[in-house]
Amino acid sequence: MPRYFIHLAYNGTNYHGYQIQPQSNSIQEELEKCLSFKIGQKIAITGCGRTDTGVHARNYYAHFDVAEPIADVAYLTEQVNLFLPGDIVIYKIWQVDDNLHARFDAVSRTYHYYISRTKNPFHTQDSYYLYGDLDVAMMQQAADLLFEYEDFTSFSKLHTQVKTNNCKIMEARWFEQDGQLVFRIKADRFLRNMVRAIVGTLLEVGRGKMSLEDFRRVVELKDRCSAGLSVPAHALFLEEVEYVW
pLDDT one-digit tens code per residue, 200-221? 999 999 999 999 999 999 999 9
Catalytic residue among 52, 87, 105, 223: 52
Interatomic CA distance for residues 97 and 81, integer angstroms: 24
pLDDT at 205: 98
pLDDT band for position 245 (50/70/90)?
Answer: confident
**Three-class secondary structure of residue 127 per DSSP:** coil
| Mean pLDDT, all residues of the chain | 95
pLDDT band for position 159 (50/70/90)?
Answer: low
What secondary structure letter does DSSP report for 216?
Answer: H
What pLDDT digit, counting tens, does each position of 110-142 carry? 999 999 999 989 888 899 999 999 999 999 999
Interatomic CA distance for residues 169 and 194, integer angstroms: 12
pTM of the model: 0.94
71-77: long-range contacts, CB 8 A cutoff, minimum separation 24: 73/4, 76/38, 76/39
Interatomic CA distance for residues 211 and 208, integer angstroms: 7
* Nearest residue to 143 via CA among 58, 233, 218, 239: 218
Percent of the chain with pLDDT over 90: 91
Q: Is the pLDDT of residue 236 over 80?
A: yes
pLDDT at 160: 64
CB neighbour class for 106 (10 Å; exposed up to 12, middle 13-18, buried from 19): middle
pLDDT at 78: 97
Mean pLDDT value of segment 163-172: 94
Interatomic CA distance for residues 144 and 9, integer angstroms: 30
pLDDT at 22: 87
* Contact predicate 171/186, CB 8 Å: yes
Q: Backbone phi, then psi, for 52, in 5-degree steps?
A: -75, 170
What secondary structure letter does DSSP report for 192?
Answer: T
Q: Is the pLDDT of residue 16 over 70?
A: yes
Mark whether 52 is an active-site residue.
yes
Instruction: Print the SS3 string covering 158-185.
Output: CCCCCCCCECCEEEEEEEEECCEEEEEE
pLDDT at 23: 85
What pLDDT digit, counting tens, does each position of 36-57 carry? 999 999 999 999 999 999 999 9
